[in-house]
Amino acid sequence: MSDEQKKIAELRARLSEVNDLEMAGSLLNWDQLTYMPNGGADARGRQLATLAKITQEKFIDPAIGKLLDDLAKYEESLPYESDDASLIRVTRRDYEHATRVPPEFLMEFNIHSTNSYQAWAEARPENDFSKVQPYLEKTLDLSRRYADFFPGYEHIADPLIDVSDQGMKASTVKKLFSELRDELVPIVKAITSQPAADDSFMHEVYPEEQQLKFGESVVRKLGYDFNRGRIDKTHHPFMTKFSLTDVRITTRVKENYLGEALFSNIHEAGHAMYEQGIDLKYEAGPLGGGTSSGVHESQSRTWENLVGRSKGFWEYFFPKIQEEFPAQLSKVSLDQFYKGINKVERSLIRTDADEVTYNLHVMLRFDLEMQMLEGKLAIKDLPEAWNARFFHDFGITPPEDKNGCMQDVHWYGGFIGGAFQGYTLGNILSAQYYKSALAAHPSISQDMTKGNFTNLHHWLRANIYQHGRKFTANELTKRATGSELTIKPYIEYLMTKYGELYDI
């Protein structure tokens, strides 16, 4: 074994230990968001903080820095996309970022975010913003402090955005969102000026146990591997993993709304199938994860919307859901169902929003984040600012804060800044990737009508999933589609689908 191979082996061993600690923290976090009793919050916050501190200290060990320095020439001698070169490159970036953030800060942040989440989980049902206001004020302070560990930024949000979407800056996102808004607003106006589609059948009583059973059957058919995953209930659905062979999803059920569990199951399964599709040789290391929040979200949105809300998908699944819920759906036609699940309206809740208005919800949150980070919006004024902006964009005002500025968990369990832009980036990329998948396998749409999702799943695995973090989002997108991120396929998709549904 050469000296370089010995050092690569040592680097992998050290990174595996760091990964194991991270995954132990993920397991504690999953338990908190699913089964942990409320009384365990303080202890769980301490436990997570301790793990985060130990993990950080292990990762920023100068020995890892020396290994990276020693391997620099070896990296230069290798092809860019080789596994060893990619491991060194990605680890170096992570290491340089991590060494700027003191372990004590991470410990403080983890304790706070755990307590903040628990406060939100209790305050939201009570519609009591005053209970979370002090937590949110501290979150804003911590978010600014994190950004200051990376001096020289163009905008205070840049270091926060870069964590989840490498290479993206606030200025880039603002420009992209401006272009997208110009395209979306006329479409929203054209559709919402018409009578809304009837989706009353979605709001019949659908027993929880049957919803969970049907939702499980759907994601199993799509390709979610239950030998390496499971579904549990939570307040705000999410995907998490403890290894590439243990990738879990969560859901929530409303018995008076069929779409809640159904589409959250498909959405989270999209995230999970990405992780389950990463090459197992990247297990327990920096390459064994999704490359960015935008790319990750592209997969959940592909399966939830481009697949799960398509006509072909329901040509296969509609008879099956009618069989499961005959009293509620026996008199509903496939066309009625298809129009109902694609109803476009100005609504309050982001996670329930249709494809056409969804990105307006994201842009609202992104703009408010920028104002908070810039010091132009105080936390105490957030509910009023939210309602004013919501009325401007949607023409309606949230009657309660729980369906306004308290509806999303992100600000109450993480940083302010850097989380929401990934949703819209994912929407844009989903159409771009799907267009390339269709070019490679023109039968994909027809396959769906027979319950066959193999060609799509295989294309995504070959072009997106298997690579893990070897490539940045831009590199991956160029490789998969031949071009950088562009809104054109996304607008074409929306205009084609909703142009037919609403005759615009």
Using a 10 angstrom Cβ sphere, with 0-12 exposed, 13-18 middle and 19 or more buried, the burial of residue 183 is middle
| Under 8 Å between Cβ of 164 and 425 | no
Could you give the CA distance from residue 341 to residue 334 in angstroms, rounded to a whole number?
11
Could you give the CA distance from residue 470 to residue 86 in angstroms, rounded to a whole number?
5
| Under 8 Å between Cβ of 300 and 271 | yes
Q: Kind and range of the H or E element at 210?
A: helix 208-222
- Of 14, 4, 66, nearest to 285 by C-alpha is 14
* Tokens coding 121: 């989980």
Q: How many CB atoms lie within 10 A of CB 284?
A: 18
How far is CA 254 from each of CA 127, 208, 231, rounded to the nearest angstrom?
19, 7, 16
Q: What is the DSSP string of 345-384?
A: ---S-GGG--TTTHHHHHHHHHHHHHHHHTTSS-GGGHHH
Using a 10 angstrom Cβ sphere, with 0-12 exposed, 13-18 middle and 19 or more buried, the burial of residue 235 is middle
Q: Which region holds residue 127: left if phi is over 0, alpha if psi is between -120 and 50, else beta?
A: left
Could you give the CA distance from residue 51 to residue 278 in angstroms, rounded to a whole number?
26
Which residue in the list 75, 268, 304, 355 is annotated as catalytic?
268
**Residue 137 is a catalytic residue:** no
Could you give the CA distance from residue 272 to residue 245 in angstroms, rounded to a whole number?
11
* Tokens coding 362: 């994201």
| Exposure string for 141-169, b = 16+ CB within 10 A, e = fewer | ebbbebbeebeebebbbbbbbbbbbbebb
| Under 8 Å between Cβ of 430 and 295 | no
Q: Three-state secondary structure along 220-232?
A: HHHCCCHHHCCEE
End-to-end CA distance of the chain: 66
Could you give the CA distance from residue 312 to residue 299 in angstroms, rounded to a whole number?
18
* Tokens coding 31: 């338990």
Residues catalogued as catalytic? 268
